[in-house]
Amino acid sequence: MAAQIHQFMCLEDNFGVLIHDPATGATASMDAPEAGPILAALKETGWTLTDILVTHHHNDHIGGIPGVKEKFPGARIVAPSKDKDRIPGADLYVSEGEKITVGGLNAHIIETPGHTSGHIVYFFEEDKMLFAGDTLFALGCGRAFEAPAPVLYESCMKLAKLPPETKIFCGHEYTLSNGQFALKADPANAALQERMKEIQALREAGKATLPTTMAVELETNPFLRAGNTAIQANLEMNGASPAEVFTELRERKNKGW
């Protein structure tokens, strides 16, 4: 049986996500931004929390853990090995190439340094689902806080090799603002222009823009298209390496271009 997903909002713009295995009853929370909405979602679905899968150490991804654990003390916390000192008390620390299970669901661990040095993502291969945390966003990517932008670029390119039908769940609802930047970076992209119409309609209706898919991101996300000649020409960076173009895009996004 396929995994069931329940997505909801936490804090101001964080996504909360529950991943449920109907065959075993196991349920994981992807990160724990805020306890209240997670507990409300568990009550709404009737699911019992068995796992909390952490992508990185930022407080808007782990701040809800104590409150959730108070209600579900048996829930296992899985966290990045490289963040062991910054996420103390996890039950399991994992690294690149390892697998974890949530009931009968299997997730591959992929290390994606850049946003943080220890950032990991969870790829459920059978269900073709990627939980990307703050590494890759719809039409964007995270800020390179703890590693140089080229390191984040390599992390994004690692994810870009996943199957095109992969559904991508990200840590934040940033799609509209990301898309406005993408249009400046890649103004002649017809697929991007059409996607932005859909995104604007979703946001006006108060609906989430996620999940996206890898195929859609490869076609419209400028951070995955840093090797595109039209983007390079628009940035006056003809002949630059994709990593250099990615770095320039990230710098411009940081400065509000």
How would residue 90 be classed by pLDDT, with cut points 50, 70 and 90? very high
Q: Check whether residue 34 and residue 152 sit in a common domain.
A: yes
In this predicted structure, the answer to whether residue 80 has a pLDDT above a threshold of 80 is yes
Count how many residues are written for the chain: 257
DSSP string, the chain: ---EEEEEEETTTEEEEEEE-TTT--EEEES-S-HHHHHHHHHHHT----EEE-----HHHHTTHHHHHHH-TTPEEEEEGGGTTTSTT-SEEE-TT-EEEETTEEEEEEE--SSSTT-EEEEETTTTEEE-TTTEETTEE---SSS-HHHHHHHHHHHHTS-TT-EEE-SB--HHHHHHHHHHHSTT-HHHHHHHHHHHHHHHTT-----EEHHHHHHH-GGG-TT-HHHHHHTT-TT--HHHHHHHHHHHHHTT-
What is the pLDDT at residue 1? 72
pLDDT in tens, 212-247: 999 999 999 999 999 999 999 999 999 999 999 999
Q: Do 199 and 216 share a domain, yes or no?
A: yes
The CATH number linked to 92 is 3.60.15.10
- 202 and 122 belong to one structural domain: no
Count of domains forming the chain: 2
How far apart, in Å, are the Cα atoms of 168 and each of 9, 79, 84, 188, 233? 16, 20, 26, 25, 29
- Say how far apart CA 226 and CA 176 lie, in whole Å: 20
pLDDT of 113 reads 98
Structure tokens at 86: 């910054």
135 and 185 fall within a common domain: no
CB 113 within 8 A of CB 32: no
Residues 53 and 74 in one domain: yes
Find the mean pLDDT for residues 243-255: 97
108 to 21, 57, 60, 88, 248: CA distances (angstroms)? 16, 19, 23, 22, 31
Query: Are residues 10 and 129 part of one domain?
Result: yes
Based on the domain organization, do 165 and 181 belong to the same domain? no
One domain for residues 22 and 127:
yes
* Domain match, 150 and 197 both: no
Domain finish residue from 119, 135, 169: 169
* Mean pLDDT of all residues in 107-135: 98
Same domain, 165 and 204: no
- The predicted-structure confidence for 22-57, as pLDDT tens digits, reads as follows 999 999 999 999 999 999 999 999 999 999 999 999
Range of the domain at 221: 175-254
pLDDT, tens only, 150-201: 999 999 999 999 999 999 999 999 999 999 999 999 999 999 999 999 999 9
- If asked whether residues 155 and 208 sit together in one domain, one would say no
- Residue where a domain stops, chosen among 152, 169, 186: 169
Q: Examine the domain organization and report whether 145 and 198 are in the same domain.
A: no
- Residue ending a domain, among 169, 188, 204, is 169
